[in-house]
């Protein structure tokens, strides 16, 4: 059984914790991207730098999460965040939202699986 489907309450807590944290950070990244898109000139350059640094922090969080969520889909998530860093660095902001949305969907699914187990065990 994949770690994305928790077998114990401990696994469910860890899965829910990491997936929910990453999910929250993806929402913030999406909002930052939305704030950068309408900017022009130097404002866009500065906003893009902030977004890039935030994505670097998100990448670290994803790396921590992938150590706990042993699922092949997490490898794809790690690959996508690496690609997003390159896109942000190149100023390719218009193409980033669909990737953030995809990652958000994956993390929401993981969090839901953990929550279901916690509810089943009456821990939440």
First to last CA, the chain: 23
Contact 24, 110 (CB under 8 A): no
pLDDT tens digit string along 92-112?
999 999 999 999 999 999 999
Q: How far apart are CA 61 and CA 80, in angstroms?
A: 14
Domains and CATH numbers, the chain: 9-120 (1.20.120)
pLDDT tens digit string along 30-62?
999 999 999 999 999 999 999 999 999 999 999
Cα 1 to Cα 12, 17, 55: the distances in Å are 13, 19, 31
């Amino acid at each position: 059984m994949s770690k994305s489907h928790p077998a114990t309450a401990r696994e469910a807590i860890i899965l829910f914790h990491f997936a929910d944290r990453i999910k929250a950070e993806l929402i913030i990244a999406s909002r930052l991207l939305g704030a950068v898109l309408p900017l022009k000139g130097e404002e866009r350059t500065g906003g893009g730098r902030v977004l890039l640094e935030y994505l670097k922090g998100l990448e670290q969080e994803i790396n921590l999460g992938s150590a706990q969520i042993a699922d092949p889909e997490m490898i794809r998530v790690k690959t996508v965040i690496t690609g997003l860093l390159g896109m942000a660095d190149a100023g390719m902001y218009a193409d980033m939202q669909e990737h953030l949305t995809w990652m958000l969907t994956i993390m929401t699914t993981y969090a839901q699986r953990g929550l279901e187990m916690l509810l089943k065990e009456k821990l939440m």
